[in-house]
Amino acid sequence: MCGIVGVAAERDIAPLLLDGLRRLEYRGYDSAGLALLDNGGLKRLRRPGEVARLVEEFERQPLEGEVGIAHTRWATHGAPTEQNAHPMFAGERVAVAHNGIVENYEAIKEELTTGGVVFSSETDTECIAHLIDAELSAGKDLATAARDALARLKGSYSVVVLAAAEPDAILAAHRGAPMVVGLGESENYAASDIAALLPVTRRYRFLRDGDLALLTRGSVEITGAGGEAVERPMVESEFGPESVERGAYRHYMQKEIFEQARAVRDTLLPLISGGLPDASMFGPEVGAKLGEITAVHIAACGSAFNAGLVARQWIQDYAKLPCTVEIASEYRYRPPPCPPNCLFLAISQSGETADTLAATRAARERGYRAVLALSNVATSSLVRNVEHSLLTRAGLEVGVASTKALLTQLAALAMMALALARARGSREEEIRSLTQEAAALPGLIEQLLEMDGRLAELAGNFRGREHVLFLGRGPMWPVAMEGALKLKELSYIHAEAYAAGELKHGPLALVDDRMMIVALAPNDGLLHKLRSNLEEVRARGGQLFVVSDPDANLGHEDGMIALRLPAPPTALQAPVLYTVPLQLLAYHVAVQKGHDVDRPRNLAKSVTVD
Ligand code: G6P
C-alpha cells in the first residue's frame, strides 16, 4: 500500500527521498512522486509506474531542496496516472502526501468546488491540500491549520504536509494509519514505515492516533489529539539497512524462503524452557490465566488467517479447547459470541493491517479474558495497542507474499497450543515430546529446502495451466489454502483450495485434462480417504500433483507427479513442513512466467485501508 517519507535536513535531500521510496517499494504501489521546498518555492515530480521511472525523470530534470516529502501511491480514488500521483498541491503553497482513505471527501470536494477551488486530480487527497491551504490563508500557522483541516476528515489515514509559508518544516499526522518520526543528527524524518529510514537512523518516536508532529532539521514537536504537547518514547530499533539486503539471492522472496529455518529457530528459542512451552510467552499475567481459558477466538487476514486455521486444529487437539478463526474484516461485523474466559488473538505479520487492527479494537470492547497479538513487528500499531503480545522473529519480510513470517507464526502458534494444553493439565511427558517435535522443525525445514531444484523442474508442469485445485484434509486443508494463495498471487493462475471431501460437492465438475490438482497427502488416518478422492480425479483425466510422506506409497500410478518429503513428519510438524514445497513451487512457477515475484500486481504488503 501507499508509502510516505519526509526529510528536513541541512543538505540536499532529494537522493534520500528517492532511496526512501525504493525501500518502500515492497509495500506495493503504482505511482510515485516527490516534492521539495526549493528556495522557498514548492517543486514536484511525479510519475506513474515504478520508482525507477521517477528516478530516470529526476535525472533528466533534477530538483534540489533541504526539506521535502515523497510518496508511493497504491491507487484507491482515481487511476494510477501522473495527475493522481502524490504529492498533491494546492497552488504552489501546500503539498500533501497521504496514506489511507478520506471517507467524506466527496462532500468536502463539493463544498470546495462551490467555493471556487479547481481540482486537478480525482483523488481524495487533494481536498486535504486545499483545506490546509484555506486554513493557512486565514492566517494560521502550519500546525494549527493542519489540525483544523484534518478535524474535518473522516476515515483512517496518515499524512505529511509541506507549506511554502513555513519552509523549514514538515507536518506529519497519524490518524489511524501508521506514522513514525525518525531522529537524526541535525536532521529529522517522517515515514509511514521504518523501512524507508533504515540507512539514516535507528532512533524513532512512534506517533499515536491523533498525534501531529512538526519537524524541522533541529526540532520535533509532537502534539496529542487535544492539541497538547506530548512526549512519545524514543525507541531504538534492532533493524539496520542490512535487514533488507537481498544478498546473493535473485529475489527477496527466495531469500526469505531460505531464511525460514533460522527464523523458526529464533522464534522457538525463547518460547521453550526446560523442554516445555513457556506459559509466560504472552507475559506472566496471561500465563497465570491460561488454565482458566475456555475458548480461543482468532482474527487475521491472508496468510495469517491460514496460520490461524492450522492453530485451530492444534488448540482443539492438544488443549481440547474450542477455537474459532475469522477473517478480520468479517470478525468486525459479525463477531462470534464471547463466552466467559475466552482469549482473543490477532495474528498479523506487519501489525498494520487495517482490518486486523479494527477487529482487535472491537475485541477490546467485548469482555475477553485477554486480547493478545502475534506479530513480527515489535513497534507495530497492533503490538502497541494491546497489552499482551508475542513476537515472531522472522526479521523484516520484504516479499509481498508472506513466507518466513507465516512459518514463524505457525511455530509460535504450535507453542501457544502446547502452553494451553499444559496449563489445562495434559500429561507433561506428552507435552515434552510434542515440544521436541516443534524444536526439530528448523532442521527439517533445512532438509526440505534441498528440494528446491526438483521443484524448479516440476514448476514447468504449471506454467501453461489456467486452473489449479489444491486438496487437503484436516490440518492440511489450510495448508492447501496457503498453497493456492501463494500460487494465485504470484503466478496469476486461478487456484482454489478445497477440503478433499468436498470434491464431489462441486469442484469435480471442473476436472478435465486441463485441470491440475495438487493433493497434500501425509501418511495419516485420512490417507485412504484422500486416495479415493484422487481416484475420482484420475478417472476424469485431471493431472495430479501429489505431495506426500515418503512412506505414503503414492505416485506410482500413471500420469501422477509425485513429490515426496525427505522424512515423514509428525502430525504437529506436517502443516509447517508441507507449506515449504508449496512456497517453492509458487515461487518457481512465477519466476518461469517472468513475473515480479516480490511485487505481484495489484497487491500490497500490508493492507492499511479497509
Ligand atoms: C497482505 C499480504 C499477505 C498477508 C496479509 C496479512 O494481503 O499480501 O501476504 O498475509 O496482507 O498481512 P499481515 O501483515 O496482517 O499478516
Assign 542 a pLDDT band (cuts: 50, 70, 90). confident
* Cα-to-centroid distance, 385 and ligand 1 (Å): 19
Mean pLDDT on 42-71: 95
Q: Is 350 in the pocket of ligand 1 (CB under 6 A)?
A: yes
| pLDDT confidence of residue 350 | 92
Q: How many CB atoms lie within 10 A of CB 105?
A: 20
For a ligand 1 pocket test, name from 606, 608, 610 the mutation site with the most ligand atoms within 8 angstroms of its C-beta: 606
CA angle at 190 for the pair 186 and 193, rounded to the nearest 5°: 130
Is 153 near ligand 1, meaning CB less than 6 Å away? no
Strand order in the sheet with 323-327: 323-327, 295-300, 342-348, 370-375, 388-391
Instruction: Answer whether 607 contacts ligand 1 (Cβ < 6 A).
Output: yes
Q: Are 160 and 170 in contact (CB under 8 A)?
A: yes
Distance 328 CA to ligand 1 centre (A): 11
Residue among 389, 402, 583 to mutate when testing ligand 1 (max atoms within 8 A of CB): 402
DSSP secondary structure of 285-328: HHHHHGGG--EEEEEE-HHHHHHHHHHHHHHHHHH---EEEEEH
Q: How much is the pTM?
A: 0.81
- State which of 26, 303, 383 you would mutate to test the pocket of ligand 1, scoring each by most atoms of that ligand within 8 A of its C-beta: 303
Nearest CA to ligand 1 atom 5: 302
User: 303 CB under 6 A from ligand 1?
Assistant: yes
State the pLDDT confidence band at 197, using cuts at 50, 70 and 90: very high
- Mean pLDDT of the chain, nearest integer: 92
Q: Kindly report the protein residue whose alpha carbon is nearest to atom 2 of ligand 1.
A: 605
- The Cα 39–Cα 61 span in angstroms is 17
Per-residue pLDDT at 556: 64
Is residue 401 within 6 Å of ligand 1 at its C-beta? yes
Would the pLDDT of 606 be above 80?
A: no
Residue 239 has pLDDT above 90, yes or no: no
Q: Looking at ligand 1, which atom is closest to the CA of residue 401?
A: 9
CA–centroid distance, 346 to ligand 1, in Å, is 13
Q: Please, which residues bridge with residue 297 across strands?
A: 324, 344
User: What would the pLDDT profile of 455-493 be if each residue is shown by its tens digit?
Assistant: 999 999 998 899 999 999 889 999 999 999 999 999 999
Report the pLDDT value the prediction gives residue 253, as an integer from 0 to 100.
94
| Mean pLDDT for the stretch of residues 184-208 | 92
Confidence of residue 333 (pLDDT cuts 50, 70, 90): confident
Task: Check if the beta carbon of residue 259 is closer than 8 Å to that of residue 395.
Answer: yes
Distance CA 316, CA 175 (A): 39
Q: What are the tens digits of pLDDT across the range 380-401? A: 889 988 989 999 999 889 888 9
CB of 383 sitting under 6 A from ligand 1:
no
Angle at 223 between CA 218 and CA 228, to 5 degrees: 130
Higher pLDDT, 303 or 551: 303
Return the active site residues.
2, 605
Distance from C-alpha of 601 to C-alpha of 553, rounded to nearest angstrom: 39
Residue 173's Cβ-count burial label (10 Å; 0-12, 13-18, 19+) is buried
Looking at ligand 1, which atom is closest to the CA of residue 604? Answer: 8
Is residue 194 predicted with pLDDT exceeding 80? yes
Is any atom of ligand 1 closer than 6 Å to the C-beta of 356?
Answer: yes
Confidence of residue 144 (pLDDT cuts 50, 70, 90): very high
Q: pLDDT category, 559, cuts 50, 70, 90?
A: low
CA of 303 to the centre of ligand 1 (A): 6
Q: At what angle do helices 260-268 and 441-449 cross, to 10 degrees?
A: 180
Q: If pLDDT is split at 50, 70 and 90, which confidence band does 558 have? A: low
- Ligand 1: residue whose CA is nearest its atom 4: 302
Report pLDDT for 201: 94
Q: Which bin fits 492, alpha (ψ -120 to 50), beta or left (φ > 0)?
A: left
Whether 158 is in the pocket of ligand 1, judged by its Cβ within 6 Å, is no
User: Is 123 touching ligand 1 by the criterion CB < 6 Å?
Assistant: no
Ligand 1 midpoint to CA 111 (Å): 37
User: In a 3-state reduction of DSSP, which class is residue 14?
Assistant: helix
The pLDDT, as a whole number, for residue 511 is: 85
Joined grid coordinates for residue 609: 485501508
The predicted structure's pLDDT at residue 494? 95
Number of residues in the chain: 610
Looking at residue 14, its pLDDT comes to 96
Cβ 281 under 6 angstroms from ligand 1: no
Whole-number Å distance between alpha carbons of 468 and 471: 10
Whether residue 427 is predicted with pLDDT greater than 90 in this model: the reply is: yes
Handedness of CA 140, 227, 123, 98 (dihedral sign): positive
**Inter-residue contact 172 to 190 (CB < 8 Å):** yes
Probe residue for ligand 1, chosen from 408, 410, 605 as the CB with the greatest number of ligand atoms within 8 Å: 605
Q: State mean pLDDT over 40-68.
A: 94
Q: Is the CB of 301 under 6 A from ligand 1?
A: yes
Asked whether 32 and 5 are in contact (CB, 8 A), the reply is no
Judged against a pLDDT cut of 70, whether residue 219 lies above it is answered with yes
